[in-house]
Amino acid sequence: MREKIGQMIQLTGFFFAGSGEETGPAHEMEIPKEVVKNAASILNVVGAGRLKEVQEKYLEENAHKIPLLFMADVIHGYRTILPIPLAQSCSFDPELVKEGAAVAARESAAAGLHVTFSPMADLVRDPRWGRCMESTGEDAYLNGQMARAAVEGYQGASLLDEGTIAACLKHFAAYGGAEGGRDYNSVDISELTLREQYLPAYEEAVKAGTALVMTSFNTINGIPASANRWLNEDILRKQWGFDGVLISDYGAIHELMMHGVAASKEEAGKLAIEAGVDLDMVSPVYGEVLEKLVLDGEVPMELVDRSARRVLELKNRLGLLDAPFRSEKLMEQEAELMHCEAHRASARKLAEESLVLLKNEGILPLRPETMKKNTIALIGPYARSRELYSAWSLFARNEEVTTIEEGLQNAMKDSPEYAGIRLLVEEGCPILDEGEEIVSFRQQLITNDWNERGIDAEEKLTAAVRAAKEADVAILALGEHIQHSGEGACRSQLRLSKAQRELFKAVKAVNPNTVVVLFSGRPLIFPRISAEAGAILQAWRPGTEGGDAVAAVLTGQVNPSGRLSMSFPKAEGQIPVYYNHLRTGRPAVNGTSARFTSTYRDLDGEAAYPFGYGLSYTSFAYGPVKTDKKIYGLEEPMTASATVTNTGERAGYEVVQCYVQDVAGTTARPVRELKGFQKIWLEPGEEKEVSFTITEAQTRIITRSGSCETEPGTFRIFIGKDSRAEGAYAEVEKR
């Protein structure tokens, strides 16, 4: 029995390799030696050589020679760092996201890993939550498409193929709904919202074949996910047919005691195994109490057999039972693949397509031919920063990141129009204000250290203003600190630091042509910049190739095509602000503050920049929405189309978005919901007819009786450029 229980335990690197990344509290573990000797898995230790050593040593002691599973958080790339997932989803390009995941898989597999704790399909409506950077935003359909793409990219056609790794879908379920946007907090949502909004993306990833699922830390309507039979057994396994491994989140089984649903480790262990959790991630519970629970007749042995079998099946699916190192050429592959040219090209393309142009008063792309002073100033703490990845880039190498300065130099060097144009670069101010402190992912205290380093802030600001004055255009590279987002990095204020706001003011005062490039892991709030900057480019955390990608968009080598996957609020007090909210009895009127409507006295309820929004260097016009029929049968799919024309002077991508409003249901319906999107390329003057098929499954709702079905009635179909879906729609009926 101890050997089987061993298969249900994941330990940290400290147990086997002396080190590793930790994301939770260390526990005193009194797990019997024999159980440790048979532990199934280890997390966040990497490197082909190191893992080979650990595996060899482990196998020497393991009676049945069953290899360890190596898992890690490869959230947006292993060494070649892709943009953060929130940015990736702004590409609205599942194929590119899939390719990015395949890049991450090849590098991870070469480093000896078997499983990544990704994708995260948690729907999120609250930008205060630090982990929205790991999500793909606020929309169930987009999240589902992105989660599917990631699973397919990681796992390839078969986990026996070289360069694949198993995906672990997380965090099941509704972790993104944490109250107040505070990590680990309770989730209290109606079953209607849970089933219609939060669950579908996980289901899509399960259908795509994710090999593992991870439970979430939170309670859902009073029951923690790791003790939630309804979620894990009834929905995940029975309804969706998931037959892979369900792993707890880090220490989550132990935390059942902190949640107040278990009074002892025994109770916690019993609850978790009864709720179907197969693998206990770094908690002492299964290792210490499962054996006793079985011997005392509290837990049937079949549950241990069932979970151990699932873990062994996963090892078998990965080919580990036949070949404990999967590939004999790990070291060579590691040397060859890491941050190789092909991977960098994929990461760059994904970064380019994830950038969102929020504002442009004709100042972008840069036009060197009109520059009288032949000078561009690049100013701000992100001008030369290599921290363009995120707190989750555990295996990134700083020196492999291209900065914005280097990116601009590369772009200018390659194009003759920039001959004779100089680039002045000034830091201007630090990212953090004086006295501001952040505890980092690795639990170090980070502060603004300019004083200690003897840097004179006044002088730096003066130099920046001087550069801005001398230049035709000032590009301000501003943003949050890398440690401002990620796990345990929630914020109640979403503004840039005071120093950066002052820098913007000072630069803008001497140069009206000011472009702001924003680096962040979440939607930020920046009313002054919104009102006064000539252009704003949301760059997120774009990864190792971020500098080149940003420069390509600034110089116009690439026409921006990213669209927001999460709404940007105008003020913290508006949160949550998301596009597909339920209609109210007193809807707000065109973003006004009219009394007795659902809005604020001091602000309207509209987002600063809504879901689906993003500008291009060209313009697109939409023709009327046409449908193939006016009346459909209940089970019939609906087909709608519209003609989209590039009415500007540049070729570019447009993300054509299809939204549906169910006019009246037996339960209240959202204003509209995304049901399809297509990213199309149009040459100037070119037009294309874009058509969408909305399946019957896509019009199902949770009805008043609790069933999930399509109800008869009127539907409005919008095809447009963003979630405001302004303009005409087609009205059809389902009977």
The Cβ-side half-sphere exposure at 633, using a 13 Å CA radius, reads 2
In Å, what is the CA distance from 521 to each residue of 54, 401, 477? 35, 17, 15
493, 572 contact by CB (below 8 A): yes
Reduced to 3 states (helix: H, G, I; strand: E, B; else coil), residue 1 is coil
**Residue whose CB is less far from ligand BGC, 85 or 144:** 85
In 3D space, the residue among 166, 4, 1 whose CA is nearest the CA of residue 69 turns out to be: 166
**Residue whose CB is less far from ligand BGC, 249 or 606:** 249
DSSP code for 289: H
Residue 181: count of CB within 10 angstroms of its CB: 25
Q: How far is the CB of 235 from ligand BGC (least distance, A)?
A: 20
Q: How far is the CB of 243 from ligand BGC (least distance, A)?
A: 21
Residue 434: count of CB within 10 angstroms of its CB: 13
The pair of three-digit structure tokens given for residue 141, joined into one six-digit string = 């359909």
Residue 63: count of CB within 10 angstroms of its CB: 9
Question: What single letter denotes the amino acid at residue 157?
Answer: A
Q: How far is the CB of 720 from ligand BGC (least distance, A)?
A: 35
**Residue whose CB is less far from ligand BGC, 120 or 529:** 120
**Residue whose CB is less far from ligand BGC, 65 or 442:** 442
**Residue whose CB is less far from ligand BGC, 250 or 677:** 250
Task: Tell me how far the alpha carbon of residue 706 is from its chain's centroid.
Answer: 31
Q: How far is the CB of 214 from ligand BGC (least distance, A)?
A: 6
Q: How far is the CB of 173 from ligand BGC (least distance, A)?
A: 13
Cβ within 8 Å of residue 655, ≥6 positions away? 92, 561, 563, 612, 614, 677, 678, 679, 721
**Residue whose CB is less far from ligand BGC, 284 or 430:** 284
Q: How far is the CB of 117 from ligand BGC (least distance, A)?
A: 3
Residue 473: count of CB within 10 angstroms of its CB: 25
Q: How far is the CB of 487 from ligand BGC (least distance, A)?
A: 6
Which residues here bind ligand BGC, judged by CB under 6 A? 23-24, 43-44, 73, 117, 170, 249-250, 487
The CA distance from 317 to 161, in Å, is 10
Burial class from Cβ neighbours inside 10 Å (0-12, 13-18, 19+) for residue 399 reads: exposed
Q: How far is the CB of 279 from ligand BGC (least distance, A)?
A: 12
**Residue whose CB is less far from ligand BGC, 24 or 156:** 24
Question: What single letter denotes the amino acid at residue 46?
Answer: V
DSSP code for 357: E
In 3D space, the residue among 178, 180, 198 whose CA is nearest the CA of residue 188 turns out to be: 178
Q: How far is the CB of 75 from ligand BGC (least distance, A)?
A: 8
In 3D space, the residue among 428, 495, 484, 424 whose CA is nearest the CA of residue 456 turns out to be: 428
**Residue whose CB is less far from ligand BGC, 43 or 371:** 43
In 3D space, the residue among 113, 111, 89 whose CA is nearest the CA of residue 100 turns out to be: 89
In 3D space, the residue among 601, 555, 531, 276 whose CA is nearest the CA of residue 412 turns out to be: 555
The pair of three-digit structure tokens given for residue 65, joined into one six-digit string = 């020679």
Q: Identify the active-site residue in 93, 139, 249, 548.
A: 249
Question: What single letter denotes the amino acid at residue 100?
Answer: G
Strands (E) across 435-472 are located at 437-439, 445-447
249 is annotated as an active-site residue: yes
183, 166 contact by CB (below 8 A): no
Q: How far is the CB of 22 from ligand BGC (least distance, A)?
A: 8
Q: Which residue is nearest to ligand BGC (CB)?
A: 117
The CA distance from 82 to 136, in Å, is 14
**Residue whose CB is less far from ligand BGC, 252 or 496:** 252
* Preceding amide of 381 cis, omega within 30: no
Spell 623-638 as b/e; 16+ CB within 10 A means b: bebebeeeebeeebeb
**Residue whose CB is less far from ligand BGC, 121 or 551:** 121
The CA distance from 607 to 398, in Å, is 35
Catalytic residues: 249
